[in-house]
Amino acid sequence: MSSIPIVRTARKEDCKEIRRLIQELADYENFPQAPKLKVQDLERDGFESSIPMFKCFVAEIPNNEDKLCGFAMYSPSYSSWVGKTIQLEDLYVSPEFRGTGLGKRLFSLVTKEAYEGNYSRVEFTVFAWNKATDFYTHLGAINTTNSEDRHVWRLYRSGIEKLVEDSNLN
Number of alpha carbons in the 13 Å side-chain half-sphere of residue 143: 13
- 136 is annotated as an active-site residue: yes
Give the start-end residues of each E strand in 51-132.
55-60, 68-79, 83-93, 121-123
- Residue 114: which residues within 8 A CB-CB, separation 6 or more? 86, 121, 122
Q: Which of 103, 11, 107, 21 is nearest to 52 (CA)?
A: 11
Separation of CA 159 from chain center: 23
Active-site entry in 74, 92, 119, 136? 136
CA 21/CA 29 separation, integer angstroms: 12
Query: Do 39 and 16 touch, CB atoms closer than 8 A?
Result: yes
Phi, psi of 14 (to 5 degrees): -85, -10
Residues with a known catalytic role:
136
